[in-house]
Structure formats: structure tokens, C-alpha cells
Amino acid sequence: MSAARQVAVSITGVVLFAVATACTPDAPPPAQSAEPSPDAAPTSTDAAASAEPEATPLEAGQAFLAENALRANVVTTASGLQYEVLASGDGAAPGPRDIVTTHYVGTFIDGRVFDSSIERGAPAAFPVDRVISGWTEGLQLMKVGDKWKLYVPPELAYGEQGTGGIGPDETLIFEVELLDVQRRG
């Protein structure tokens, strides 16, 4: 004899049901279902079979940022920029007109890299007020020696127009290390 119990699990608003089964030593194992396990990784056929349309970049980014904001080590500013301190420095903080030297890696929320000063083998230097507004805000919160992750919503990045290999309404993630600040008048 076996006993079964239905368990509901909610993951980001979707309720999944699983059946927990207990077997006695003389009972056969439960029959295998043709349904995939809720623990199984999604496959391309799962997405094709879904009746719901795929999320737009804006919707996917909003969902990512909402979930990311719940993490204890993530800070969300009034503008919607999120950041996470990976390492703390004790150097100078840049102002809006200063020139900063940084190492950074830029990724999409799915982890694909779209830009990296590290891969190029040289840090990047630029005026704080000549980058996307999410960077301008984040850099002014940092000090030389800091290494942060910036989670930048589309309205603080490239917005509805996108740029180059970055599509419209993309939420971007940057791991930024602030190496130097040069004061500019």
C-alpha cells in the first residue's frame, strides 16, 4: 500500500502541484507519469507547448528586478537602480563631471555578455556624466576600490530605442570595479 499527498508550491505566481508518495518495502514504486517533473529544467519544447506568449524584454526585466529586490544584499534607489556591494574600497567618490577608470562586465539578465573591459584587456575611462543614467547614478555612490553589481532598468539604460547589440527595453547588469577618479572642473 502507498499513501499519496498533494503538495502545492508557488513560484513567482505559478502554482505547481506535486504528489508525494510513500512506499512500503513490499509495494512497487509509483508509476512514472508522462508529465515532466516540476524539478526538471525547461526545454525548448516546453516553451513551444506553452499556451502563454513569451514575455517581452520589458516584462522579463520587470519580473527579474522585482525578484532581485527581495534579496537581502540588494539596495534599490528611488530611481529604480539596484546595486549589490561585492567589495568595499576607501578611495574618493566621483562627482558628475569627474572622469572615472573602471573595469566592468555588462550582461543581459540571462547572463549573456554584451561588453567587457576585462575581455578587452584594458580598463575603460570616461566622464561620469557621459554614460547611461544608471551608471551616472551608481558611480557617484561608489568609492575607488569598490566593486559593485548594478542592475539597471531600461529607463536608466538604453530605453525603448536600444543601441547596437542591446535591444529595446532591456534590463542590464554590470559588474563594475571603480579603479580611479580624475577630478575635472
- Residue written as cell 525578484? 67
Whole-angstrom CA distances from 89 to 34, 35, 66, 73, 182 are 54, 51, 28, 17, 16
What is the predicted pLDDT for the residue at 51? 64
Q: What is the mean pLDDT of residues 143-157?
A: 98
Query: Per-residue pLDDT tens for 20-77?
Result: 333 334 444 444 444 444 444 444 444 455 567 899 999 999 999 999 999 999 999 9
Domains of the chain by range and CATH?
Answer: 2-49 (no CATH), 57-182 (3.10.50.40)
pLDDT, the chain, mean: 82
d(CA 91, CA 33): 59
What's the pLDDT band for 6 if we cut at 50, 70, 90?
very low
pTM across the whole model: 0.72
Query: Per-residue pLDDT tens for 159-169?
Result: 999 999 999 99
**Residue 95 CB: number of other CB atoms within 10 A?**
13
Q: What is the mean pLDDT of residues 144-159?
A: 98
The three state secondary structure string of 32-79 is CCCCCCCCCCCCHHHHHHCCCCCCCHHHHHHHHHHHHCCCCCEEECCC
What is the predicted pLDDT for the residue at 184? 86
d(CA 151, CA 64): 10
